[in-house]
Amino acid sequence: MTDLFAPLVDDPAYRKIAILIEQRIVARTLRTGDALPSETDLARQFGVNRSTIREAIRELEIHGLLGRERGEKRLRVTRPEPQRVSSGVSRALALHDVTFMELWEAMMAIEPAAAQYAASRRTAAQLRGLTRASTRFSEGTGDTAAAVAAVVDFFTAVAEASGNRVLALAQSPLNLLLEPALSAIIDRVPQARSRIEAAQSKIIDAIKLNKSEQARTWMEKHIRDFKRGYELDLPTIRELEGH
């Protein structure tokens, strides 16, 4: 049943080196904050050319495992910033032409849960963040882009307040996809803005009072609202952008 032979693969040196260094980081032999040896030194240690080392560390840098403080020259071990990885997920989803319904269903799964946990765990600072995002939406002028950004920021703030980094990281890629989709419809649906405003207000109230179930319920309503205008056709996010 299973193949007798596996395809012959021979990773280039820069890949092997990247993997070796990555293992050290994941195993915490190299710990967050540690400075990496210089490229020249690494080249010596691995017995390869500096160009090869550079290609290897490029990979780790992109993964967010290595980075430098602003204006610093030496690389150090860092933790991958959530934003960096989620932007990669967003791009992947966009390139796969996911439909708005797919996005919507995922939001429907994730956001209410985030709201629920936010209600029981939010800190005072996080609550302020929520209020700020909501205010920015309701006080915004007609500017569509700004309104959409405020809606997205509200979701981000809820996810952060959930105190759950897995949920937050699952939620984050949705934002970048929601933005173009929402821009296309927020001005098409009458009352969209007033409904968003009302829902956000209800959600914040529930989170403020630690009412988990109410927070979840209102978030569900909030997201259901987004589905309007999509009932009939199932455009890809890309098409919404006008391509």
- Site residues, DNA (CB under 7 A): 12-14, 36, 38-41, 47-52, 54-55, 71-75
Q: Residue 114 and residue 171: Cα distance in Å, rounded?
A: 9
Least distance in angstroms from the C-beta of 238 to its own copies: 8
Residue 113 binding result from its own copies, DNA, none, given CB thresholds of 5 to 8 Å by partner type: its own copies
Question: 165 or 224: whose CB is closer to its own copies?
Answer: 165
Contacts of 181 (CB under 8 A, 6+ apart): 100, 103, 237, 240
Q: Nearest 10 degrees: CA dihedral of 19, 22, 27, 32? A: 170
Q: Which of 95, 65, 90 is nearest to 77 (CA)?
A: 65
Residues 6+ apart with CB under 8 A from 18: 56, 57, 59, 60
Q: Could you say which of its own copies, DNA, none residue 49 binds, taking C-beta under 5 to 8 angstroms by partner kind?
A: DNA
Output 79 or 191, the one with its CB closest to its own copies. 79
Residues that bind its own copies (CB under 8 A): 7, 9, 14, 25-28, 32, 51, 54-55, 58-59, 62-65, 70-71, 79-80, 82, 85-86, 88-89, 91-96, 98, 102-103, 105-106, 108-110, 112-114, 117, 164-167, 169-170, 173-174, 177, 243
